[in-house]
Structure 1
Amino acid sequence: MDNNDIKNLWRKKSWSIPDLLGSKSEYTKIIVGVIKQLALENANVMDDCPKLDDIEEVKTWREYAPFLKGIGVVENHNGSLYLSETGKRLSGDVSFYNIATVMQEKIRIFGELLLIIEAEASTVQEVDEKICSNYNLDWKNCSNTRRRMDWLEVLGLIEGVGNRKWILTETGEQALKDWILVTPDVLESFEAVEAEYTITNPPTEISNMIQELSDNDQLHKDRCTYNLWSPSPNKIDNLRKILKYSCDKVSRSDLFNYIGNEFSLRASSVESMMPFLKASGLLEETGRNIYVASSVAKEWCQTGTDIDFIRILHCHFRFVGEMIFFAENDITRNEIYQEAKKYGLNNEKARWIAGFLVEAGLLEEPQYLHLKASAFGMEFAKTLPIADEIIYQKPNERKENVHKDMNKNETSLDEGLFNNLSAAAIDPYAEGKASGVAFEEEIAKIFRYMGFEAKRIGGPGNTDVVVRWTNDEGKVIIGIVDGKSKSSGQVSHGDVSDVAIEAHKEKNSADYVAIVGAGFSGDTIKNFAIKKTVALVTDKELIDIA
């Protein structure tokens, strides 16, 4: 296999391992059990629970689906989960080694950890330091490495030898022989290897749309900054499926049912997607609650090429083709987010656009949190009418920016805050501090970022964070927040003291109580929260609010 083939495989991989709800000791039992159930085609109702042995708390198919889709073993068809081709191969021999091989095919810097451990017995911290140095990774703490090593452990590729050090097992040594690993020198060689791509001409309606944008500056100004949303993974393919279903007129209820069943989404999630489908010029409302794919969307469905979708997106959204040009040289995501603000886009919207461009092969991820336009991307971007960000700025902003020297090394404050919160949510000893302290501090920072008065208290006998604000009537409102950092990513009722929460609420004269964690496991804690009027907030939800 040449470097170009390896590069294409690398491009399709993800940086993150999807969550699997359950304890680490149950991971393999869950995977083996659900694969066997899927082989029997027993995943027909998403809110049913699979029949799994020796699992303390079995989740629903809907809750297991993100992990199973993330490692590529299932597909969703009309509200039922079925094994993909990868899943079918795995079901023939659901060994731990084959599960590890599937994950290696989907996750970046997974098997590559074995190279570090092969050279020398190492702790998690030592592996993290070496992997970040070798691959120029900007991981803020050990959580990414620890999570990968957790999986390598439970799948039998590494084992502990005392003093918190790890070595390869015989299975791990076999993996080094079998797997295609991307070493730092191979990664560097990607720069010199580019596949030959053919940029197909756009079909008639899409071509006319691009020409209109080229001829009319006002259309550039009218490009929108709406939220973007598409089911994961394979966001572009999933959008194409939705539009193929809508090529003939379809009622709102039928469309919602199709999207919900096909992608295991609740009605509220489908609802949140509709503004994007319309703002991006993909879907039109031809009557009251009657929808149909637009003419350009129908052309895209016929050609099936990702670049036709990007052409449509560029004509309706700001900073699409412009993002490709901006990333001509290797830059950080934070630099892209700073540039996106000139076009009126926040970080999340820029992240979505970047995701589409990566999926279409127009941007690449040369290293963690970095992006770079591919040669194909640069050639493609030259075919698009491009706007200068200055047309989106108000007159007084333009005057200020003439004299403003942008510091390219400046990092995004909010991005750093959000990354630190998420990292501390699953790393109790983040930033080298005592258990839970970093997470509590980051929670307080997030609330202050949103304009609240927030103070970390911590320590025995009191709450973690006190939040204050003044309502419209001038009354000071107090909320207390209990932060729960768990390496498993799941907070259960056993981690929460009902008595302590009531005492903390009384001690601080609090009106509201919230518990913040990476995730919440089990009905007991959820029922407790409902009964005691306690808000359960995940770190991702808190970031969305911020």
Structure 2
Amino acid sequence: MIKNSHTEHAGGVISYGINRIHCVDESVNEGGGSVTSHDQGIPDFPVVRKWPQRSSSTPWVPGSPDHIVGNLRGLLTEIQSDGTQNRPFAWPASRTSTTIRAAVHSLGSCGLVSKKGDYLELTENAEKFLVDGDAEYLIAVFHSNVRFVGELLAELDTPKTHSDLNNAASEKYLLEWSTLDPVRRRTNWLRAAGLAELWKFENKLVLTDEGRQFRDRIQLVAPGEIPGSSSAQPIDFTLTPPSPGVLAELETLDQAVLAGRKAQWGYIAGGSSLESIQFLVNAFSPETSRSHFIRLCVDQLSVKESSAEQSLNTLRALGFVEQTGPNSFAPTPLAQEWLASGDPVDLVRILHVKVALVAEVLSALKEESDTGAARRWLAIYYPGYRISQIELARRILILKDAGLIERIGHTRYRLTPLGAKFYDSVPLLEPQGTLAGSSGSATKSASDIGQPSELDQQATEVHEAATDSANFSRFESAVAEAFSLLGLEVERHGGPKKTDILLTFWLSPTSRRRVTVEVKTDSAGQINENDVKFDALEEHRKAHKADRAILIGPGFSGRLPQWAKGKGIPLISAGRLATWLTLSTRIRIFPHELYEMIFSGSAPSVWERAERGLEAVNQVTRMLWESGNDEADISFNQGALTVRDIWRMGKADSEAPLAPEEISSALQLLTNPLLSAASEMKGGEYVSTAPPNLIAARLRSFADAIEYGLDFRRSFDMHEKRPESPRMDTGPEDARAESKVLPDRVRQWARENGRPVSSKGRLPNSLVADFLAAQNEEQ
């Protein structure tokens, strides 16, 4: 297991961070990564990680500065005795109850606790703190893993308020916090260690003598050394040409090849950083066995054997490793070229050839610096690809490690000069989807023209793979991806005495359920009692410490359904799983609902309840709006309706009218102050306050805010209008530029024609179609 430690080296100090290896020179502090020499007899502090690699979140423990160190010690002692996460824990000072998992989550990435499989372990730093009880050493650990801890002490040469410190964090260290809470948490720890004091009458923080001595012993990052700082020294970026093999691959990239690249990056043990990939690919050089690689990953990276196996599959799919014998593997010629050149840009080039939306991320970051907004940009312009937050983070990390982008905030990045040169040097997939269409016809997205969504496509794959018995791993992959799309945590296992798939259902902050999944295929489409060993299923469940087990196959016959029911093992057919995926295109259900559905056998009621909720919101919204615009209703009761009125109106329109309880639930949503789509009057009457299309637009804003974060324009910016040139056939560069202009043209047209439109975010397909149709009529 790689732990935080350091050893002497001729060139300085080699610093070992978790899953990352950095060579740091004592005389150079590139981005804040170095260690200091200490007076003889004073124990060394932990190695300080570079600024970008340190977390911006401060560890939180309840209590005042007098109690937080004791509370932390109690938590670490409890983990030292038993690393199980899902068990109760009470903070020593207040006896407030929580769980080990929740308490550790509040600590963040502070360098005290690491996760090994499903269990928690203390780092060497945490163990040293428990032995010595040195609060200054604890702060040094925080400083080595968290931004603006030691640097905060440097700001206390003169007394400052929390607001002053927050301003310094923003202006000098690019930490844009919206509240004073992050600063207060840091000062609480410093006060607990006796390094700072609070003058309560002036509400200012001051440095103690111990704090000055501590500050002089640690390595601090200067504001000008932070990536993205305006005072940072410029660097001469030179783009090296690709190696011959990589160049040959790049020359094969046309739009068809770019569109056919692997959609998902995949899991890599140790993370998707440049160092991790280089370490793993080097492990195969010149040739090694599967067992040797798995043992290396388990020993050095503290991952499971199944995770190591999955990493091998990912490296093969990415084009870095190839099989050279029945049980031997070696780096591919492309990977060998990259290892020989040592050029990280060649690594990005290889990934761009093999994986979709790698260099295209640079297109998104040219438009949106925030990662949430960039992900939304990719979803709009490349709707055929499902880029999750994790997948985007993997791409961001490798682009940053290669020097193509730099971090300028907590979740904000921008292209470096090298990144701009690289962006212009490689072929990119042309933007797709509704907003990318720039032809004279009313271009529609995949959903508009009847092309299947990702959920529909996966439903088809599940159904077809279930009977492909010659390739059983295909069905396992299809099932794993299906449950991932349904919102579950999925682990692929397989092998002797192991389940095929392990699912984790997140039910609440204190409740999770682990379920083993046995997957069976059959060309005839039926699994019977002779194909299943129930004792083995139970053994697998116990081996993975799972709560339940399920069996999935194309279909089931004979005595198997009866036997499985007696064992409490639900049977899920491929058709049933495919139906869940199809239903999810209309409405999504949550993991706790899916768990209920599987183990209570109440699938119809779960989906029906979710569907009825949609129907209730639809009917109530429409009825309130119609009554609010009906002259007779307005003159009779000011356009207001009661629950009984809505029930009577719906009773005539539906074979299954809404129940009063369903209507009341919809009204609670619409009248919530956050939405304000309806208002409750006296006497239990309700009136509409907005048209349905604007209510839908606001709900979409909530959805975007939840998924992508806040990225709204808050003020008017005047943009100079440019005359539009006649429409001509465009090449890739022209199409890319045109696709960026189209959203602004749609918004301008909508405002001129009195159509409601948001200033940011995804445009409704119907609005874009109307705009394009209007352009056709003008021509």
TM-score in terms of structure 2 length: 0.40
- Is 1:387 the counterpart of 2:425? The answer is no
- Is 1:365 the counterpart of 2:407? The answer is yes
CA distance 1:189–1:349, shift in 2 (3 Å): closer
1:471 deviates by: 1.8
CA distance 1:157–1:222, shift in 2 (3 Å): farther
Q: How many residues align?
A: 399
Alignment equivalent of 1:451, drawn from 588, 612, 617: 588
- Is 1:25 the counterpart of 2:94? The answer is no
Q: Identify the residue that residue 113 of structure 1 maps to in structure 2.
A: 152
Counterpart of 1:378, as a letter, is: A
What do the CA deviations read for 1:90-110 (whole angstroms, capped 9, x no partner)?
A: 9xx996556645654554333
Contact 1:11-1:365 within 8 A present in 2 as well: no
- Structure 2 CA distance for aligned equivalents of residues 191 and 327 of structure 1: 22
Q: Identify the residue that residue 170 of structure 1 maps to in structure 2.
A: 209
1:363 deviates by: 1.2
Listed as ranges, the gaps of 5+ residues in structure 2 are 1-24, 34-49, 85-91, 94-99, 444-508, 510-585, 593-599, 611-705, 708-779
Contact 1:131-1:137 within 8 A present in 2 as well: yes
- Structure 1 CA distance for aligned equivalents of residues 440 and 155 of structure 2: 47
- Structure 2 CA distance for aligned equivalents of residues 454 and 235 of structure 1: 31
What do the CA deviations read for 1:254-276 (whole angstroms, capped 9, x no partner)?
A: 32222122101123433443443
Counterpart of 1:311, as a letter, is: R
- Structure 1 CA distance for aligned equivalents of residues 297 and 291 of structure 2: 10
1:369 deviates by: 1.7
1:25 deviates by: 1.9
Give 1:19-98 correspondences, 5 Å limit: 24-25=68-69, 97=136
- Structure 1 CA distance for aligned equivalents of residues 216 and 112 of structure 2: 23
1:189 deviates by: 5.4
- Structure 1 CA distance for aligned equivalents of residues 150 and 326 of structure 2: 53
Counterpart of 1:193, as a letter, is: Q
CA distance 1:131–1:312, shift in 2 (3 Å): same
Q: Identify the residue that residue 209 of structure 1 maps to in structure 2.
A: 249
- Structure 2 CA distance for aligned equivalents of residues 22 and 285 of structure 1: 53
Contact 2:159-2:207 within 8 A present in 1 as well: no
CA distance 1:195–1:175, shift in 2 (3 Å): farther
Q: Identify the residue that residue 352 of structure 2 maps to in structure 1.
A: 314
Q: Identify the residue that residue 15 of structure 1 maps to in structure 2.
A: 55
Counterpart of 2:244, as a letter, is: T
What do the CA deviations read for 1:195-250 (whole angstroms, capped 9, x no partner)?
A: 2345444333223222333xx33221122221443344782212212111223454
CA distance 1:349–1:170, shift in 2 (3 Å): same
Contact 2:54-2:144 within 8 A present in 1 as well: no
Q: Identify the residue that residue 439 of structure 1 maps to in structure 2.
A: none
Counterpart of 2:408, as a letter, is: P
- Structure 1 CA distance for aligned equivalents of residues 435 and 145 of structure 2: 48
CA distance 1:363–1:450, shift in 2 (3 Å): farther
- Structure 2 CA distance for aligned equivalents of residues 154 and 129 of structure 1: 23
Contact 2:224-2:231 within 8 A present in 1 as well: no
- Structure 2 CA distance for aligned equivalents of residues 301 and 178 of structure 1: 39
Q: Identify the residue that residue 353 of structure 1 maps to in structure 2.
A: 395
The SS at the match of 2:314 is: helix
1:316 deviates by: 1.4
CA distance 1:182–1:225, shift in 2 (3 Å): same
Q: Identify the residue that residue 757 of structure 2 maps to in structure 1.
A: none
Contact 1:340-1:350 within 8 A present in 2 as well: no
Q: Identify the residue that residue 224 of structure 1 maps to in structure 2.
A: 262
Deviates more, 1:173-182 or 1:241-250: 173-182
Counterpart of 2:588, as a letter, is: G
- Structure 1 CA distance for aligned equivalents of residues 378 and 260 of structure 2: 16
Counterpart of 1:334, as a letter, is: G
1:365 deviates by: 1.0
- Structure 2 CA distance for aligned equivalents of residues 18 and 205 of structure 1: 46
Q: Identify the residue that residue 338 of structure 2 maps to in structure 1.
A: 300
- Structure 1 CA distance for aligned equivalents of residues 215 and 139 of structure 2: 12
Counterpart of 2:249, as a letter, is: M
Q: Which protein has the larger Cα radius of gyration, Structure 1 or Structure 2?
A: 2
The SS at the match of 1:361 is: coil
Alignment equivalent of 2:370, drawn from 332, 348, 360: 332
Counterpart of 2:428, as a letter, is: A
The SS at the match of 1:207 is: helix
1:364 deviates by: 0.9
CA distance 1:103–1:205, shift in 2 (3 Å): farther
CA distance 1:179–1:354, shift in 2 (3 Å): same
Alignment equivalent of 1:246, drawn from 252, 259, 284: 284
Contact 1:229-1:276 within 8 A present in 2 as well: yes
1:290 deviates by: 4.8
- Structure 2 CA distance for aligned equivalents of residues 191 and 246 of structure 1: 42
1:389 deviates by: 3.7
What do the CA deviations read for 1:74-131 (whole angstroms, capped 9, x no partner)?
A: 9x9xxxx9x99x99xx9xx9965566456545543333323555543535x7744663
- Structure 2 CA distance for aligned equivalents of residues 310 and 145 of structure 1: 37
1:330 deviates by: 7.8
